Amino acid sequence: MRKAMVLFASLFVATAWASDSSGGHGEGHEPSVPEYILHHVSDTNDFELEVPLSQPIHLGAIPPLRIGNCAPRQTEHGLETPSGWGGLAEGCLDLSVTKHTVMMWLAALLLLGTVLVWSNRDKTKLVPRGTGANLIEMLVLFVRDELAIKNIGKEDGPRYVPYLLTAFFFILFMNLLGLVPWMATATGNLAVTAGLAVCTFIVTQAAGIRAAGLGGYLKHLTGGVHPLLWIIMIPVEVLGLFTKPFALTMRLFANMLAGHIVLFFLIGLIFILGHPAVAVVSVPFAFAIYLLELFVAFVQAYVFTLLSALFIGMAVATGHHHDEHGHAEGGASHDHGKAHA
Amino acid sequence: MDVKEPREKAGSDGSELGQTARHMRAAEPYVSAVWKLVGGAVVGVLGGYWLDKKLGTQPWLMLVLSLVGICVGFYGFLREMARLGKRK
């Protein structure tokens, strides 16, 4: 235990040192603490290792991969290649491999490795053996029983367990990788969380269509109003569909980013206040926040999976609701009382 | 990994569901009703503004479509409320 504490403490000191030595990043310009933090949490094409007492080691950038109209254009800062949203508007799709992309690959590989090694594939053995296999079994059972079945239902829940498990473990691995020194948190990137939310969105809509049938699903989009009013009601309902994945995107992104920024700022306090003695307070605080972040990594994976299961469950329930009574308005067709008794 | 429970009728009211799921499902129609009320106005105003810019008819289409949007929003909201009232 004491060894582990010493290791953690030295890692923090190393990080603090690294940020001190990287002061000479740009010639003559010393980056301020906020600039430094933003540089660390943002996504770049350059994967760099900041080793204490030396300049950052660049692991080499994979050249940007761009599709479409990506010719460099003349701006006031010289020649610039369009990228990001602005580039997309000009028809340039930037598919470059970035730091966060590498982290996602790593998370996927680790996920495949650990789960394949630890999953109990021997059907003759009912009980998993070993700590790893037990841990995986515990998490899998938790996602199945507490998330899928409790939020989607006994009947439809098991069908969505594979998706929920994938989302849970993938997010968990990305969150945990972000806590390893010199790595990055891919879930602290809006594009990554949006991508995950899009997956949940697709599964939710598929679940809705599966439960209600395509006709029932489309009927629900019309809001049950007169066809003349569809021109307004259909956009309203379609916009309503996007509120849930939007919440999913922002929540995961903001939580993961905020934790890391707090951690960096606590270390950065040493440089803001400009005295080594501040480390006596800020390093233990940063250590506490780091331990909290370990917990948050699990909580965020859990919450994303829980919300995905809730949304899928709601879509399935709406579908069954259609099944039982259609979307007809006439009072005669309403035997809701029975169905909800 | 396989859950082979008999299909129970009692399960259709969500008795096996967690508390959060039951509350969310109970609240969903009300959330959707409010969204219809607000969304109608939003879609009307934005749609009208966009059409006005496209056709150069400022500000008429925006005025008309926002009125229509508000009315449709109210209509959708009241319908949903009436349906919920009947369900009780």
Give contacts of A119 with chain B, Cβ < 8 Å: none
Q: Which of residues 14-33 of B touch A (CB under 8 A)?
A: 14, 16-18, 20-21, 24-25, 28, 32
CA distance A62 to A68: 19
Taking the CA of residue B7 and the nearest CA in chain A, the distance in Å comes to 7
Backbone angles phi, psi at B58, to 5 degrees: -50, 140
Q: Give the pLDDT of residue A256.
A: 93
CA distance A327 to A318: 10
Whether omega before B29 lies within 30 degrees of 0, making that bond cis, reads no
Give contacts of B2 with chain A, Cβ < 8 Å: 158
Q: Do the chains contact at B16 and A158, CB–CB below 8 Å?
A: no
Local structure of A93: helix, strand or coil: strand
Buried b (16+ CB within 10 A) or exposed e, A154-170: bbbbbebbebbbbbbbb
CA distance A264 to A230: 51
Q: Could you tell me how many CB contacts below 8 A there are between chain A and chain B?
A: 104
Taking the CA of residue B25 and the nearest CA in chain A, the distance in Å comes to 6
Give contacts of A149 with chain B, Cβ < 8 Å: 3, 16
- The residue type at A339: A
Nearest to A334 among B18, B40, B86 (CB): B86
B48 CB near a chain A CB, below 8 Å? no
Pairing of strands A92-94, A66-68: antiparallel
Per-residue model confidence as pLDDT tens for chain A (341 residues) = 566 655 555 555 454 444 444 444 444 566 788 888 888 888 877 777 666 666 666 666 666 667 777 777 777 777 777 666 666 777 777 777 788 888 999 999 999 999 888 876 666 777 777 888 888 889 999 999 999 999 998 888 999 999 999 999 999 999 999 998 878 899 999 999 999 999 999 999 999 999 988 988 888 888 777 888 888 888 888 888 898 999 999 999 999 999 999 998 999 999 888 888 999 999 999 999 999 999 999 999 999 999 999 999 999 987 776 555 544 443 333 343 333 33
Closest Cα in chain B to A237? B36
Q: Give the pLDDT of residue A293.
A: 94
Of the candidates A317, A301, A129, the one whose C-alpha atom is nearest the C-alpha of residue B23 is A317
Q: Give the pLDDT of residue B51.
A: 92
